[in-house]
Structure 1
Amino acid sequence: MTKALLFPALLEILYLGFSFALAQAYGQWSYEGELSRTVLRLLSIFGFIYFYRKYCYDAKQSLKPKQKFAPPFILAITLFILFAALYTNAEHETLTWQLVFGLSGITAGFREELFYRGIVQNSLQKNMHYQKALLITCTLFTLSHIQFIYYGQASAVMLITLAGIIFGSIFIYTGSVLFVGAIHGLYDAVLCLNFSPIRLSNQAALPILLLITLLFFIIISKKPESVTQSDRIDPDNNDSLTTQ
């Protein structure tokens, strides 16, 4: 890892450490803990935006998706959000809880995409095949959620791994950290809302999300145009990421 990347990496490690400490102090799903984590997320978002704009964003390119969405991609996105609606963890929660955690989920999604896709995967795609960059980034993304094993929720880690592959695939397809951040924020928010009369069981959730993940992987295997036109590291930036 280059010297410049140490700043966002350290910021992420600090966030994860403080987030775990807050969960221990207030409880994993408490209002106090979640509101405190939201403040930490917003602070880290500002730090990631600073780094992204300085090192990763090419002003000549738009943050908008680089190509029109093909029907299979639209279908995959729709199925992914529908999965979140059917696998909600808020079926016994109050409306206040749903609103608090739903809104905080939006900030969580944007924060994670800024770091894992906008910075990490973006940088890796500059130096290696995009599918390899996707798998490395997904591994780091999964490790950042390893605390779920501590809480006895190992199955959640497997679902997070698949979701990480999906988010990385969306970034590859669109080349837009803004778009994948919006999808991630929407996904996290929908997971915290209870508006569906049907809920997927834990046994059904994993194979269904696996099929959706495979659909995304098939879509990006066709090497979409945006892979080579994403908001990648600007080679003309004087603040080079490479070590001297």
Structure 2
Amino acid sequence: MKKLILFAVLLEIGYLALSFALAEIYGQWSVVGEIVRSGLRIISIVFYGYCYRKYFYHAGHPFRIKNRLTPQFAIPLLSFFLFAIFYTNAENETITWQILFAISGIAAGVKEELFYRGIVQNALQKKYGYKIALPAASLVFTLAHVQYIYYGQVGGLVLIALAGIIFGSIFIYTGSVVFTALVHGLYDALLSVNLVPFRLSDSIALPLCFLIALAFLFTISEKFNGMQPTNSANDNNQDTLGLH
């Protein structure tokens, strides 16, 4: 197990290094670089999925979204998707660019959730409990995007940190890495298409995303919904690798 997990970590580091190199060669948002990154993501998805299935997936009760789609969860979730629509990265991009980056965004969301929640957060939660696992996995997720500082996009890095907390909270609440990956993939896809006539400024987007993250934290709190998050990833795992 340790060797495979170590290889998964090295694979992710390798992906991040190659991704940065592609951005330096072709540009941060280039079509060529994104096509190559998408190929690397598919390779990573296959391996991370294998690791998750082998070491962290223990089928319990099937995950049924209707049992979890309470108002206190649905409202922040819908707000998160609306936020992505109004914080688009595609204001001045072509339709071809938007389609390509929307598809690659879905792949990026699946890859990142399999690794950062399916493997990293699961491993930490099993050993230290969800109260440690959530911020720790979110920090690792944020550090993986530290190149945003290099490109002078500090606000973007802060939003990624908040998104990491949101994805981690969704994983804790649902117990499903599949559902969390679908949310992440759709979020990234919505960021890549231009559906509205204006874009939120960072001065509005940052506090808005912060409030959404707080809403998700409130949702997973024991006091609010009576749920008792377990310290064991296995006991709380309701992931059937499919939605019902």
Q: Distance in 2 between matches of 1:34 and 1:27?
A: 10
1:58–1:232 Cα contact (<8 Å) kept: yes
**Residue identity in the other structure for 2:52:** Y
- Cα distance in 1 for residues equivalent to 2:74 and 2:30: 35
> Residues 9-28 of structure 1: matches in 2 within 5 Å?
9-28=9-28
Aligned to 2:96: 96
Q: TM (normalized to structure 1)?
A: 0.90
- Give the direction of change, closer, same or farther, for the CA distance of 1:94–1:230 in structure 2 (3 Å limit): farther
How many angstroms does 1:227 deviate by?
Answer: 3.0
Mapped to 2, the partners of 1:102 and 1:58 lie a distance apart of 31
| 2:229 equivalent in structure 1 | 227
Superposed displacement of residue 60, structure 1: 4.1
Asked if the contact 2:159/2:206 (under 8 Å) is kept, the reply is yes
Indicate whether 1:213 and 2:238 are aligned.
no
CA–CA distance in 2 between the matches of 1:230 and 1:183? 23
Counterparts of 1:4 and 1:32 in 2: how far apart (Å)?
Answer: 31
Given that 1:56 and 1:233 are in contact with CA atoms closer than 8 Å, whether structure 2 keeps it comes out as no
**Shift in Å at residue 18 of structure 1?**
1.1
TM-score (normalizing by structure 2): 0.90
Cα separation, partners in 2 of 1:2 and 1:65, compared to 1, 3 Å: farther
Question: Which consecutive residues of structure 1, in runs of 5 or more, have no partner in the other structure?
Answer: 235-244
Match of 1:197 in 2: 197
* Cross-structure match for 1:237: none
Question: Secondary structure of 1:193's partner?
Answer: coil
RMSD: 2.2
Counterpart contact for 1:175–1:226, Cα < 8 Å: no
Name the counterpart of 1:147.
147
Amino acid in structure 1 at the alignment position of 2:130? Y
Give secondary structure in 2 for the equivalent of 1:91. Answer: coil
Distance 1:53 1:106 in 2: 20
Q: How far apart in 2 are the matches of 1:33 and 1:131?
A: 37
Are the counterparts in 2 of residues 65 and 176 from structure 1 also a CA contact under 8 Å?
no
Partner SS state of residue 187, structure 2? helix
Corresponding residue SS for 2:91: coil
Partner residue, 1:242: none
Q: Aligned equivalents of 2:129 and 2:81: distance in 1?
A: 28
* 1:4 Cα offset (Å): 4.4
Measured in 2, the distance between the counterparts of 1:153 and 1:180 equals: 26
Give how far 1:101 is off. Answer: 0.5
- Native 8 Å contact 2:85 2:190 kept in 1: yes
What is the DSSP-based 3-state SS (H/G/I as helix, E as strand, rest coil) of the residue aligned with 2:42? helix
Cα deviations across residues 151-194 of structure 1 (Å, max 9, x unaligned)? Answer: 11111000000000000000000000000000000000000110
What is the count of residue pairs matched by the alignment? 234
Query: What SS does structure 2 have at the residue aligned with 1:204?
Result: helix
Write the letter of the residue equivalent to 1:79: S
* Offset of residue 129 of structure 1: 2.5
3-state SS of paired residue (1:227)? coil
Distance 1:173 1:233 in 2: 13
Deviation per residue, 1:126-159 (Å, 9 max, x gap): 1223121100000000000001111111110000
Distance in structure 1 (CA, Å) of the matches to 2:73 and 2:169: 10
Q: Does 1:126 align with 2:126?
A: yes
* Paired letter, 1:27: G
Change beyond 3 A, Cα 1:76–1:209: same
Mapped partners of 2:122, 2:66: distance in 1: 15
Measure, in 1, the Cα distance between the counterparts of 2:209 and 2:128: 27
For structure 2, the residue ranges without an aligned partner over 5 or more in a row are 237-244
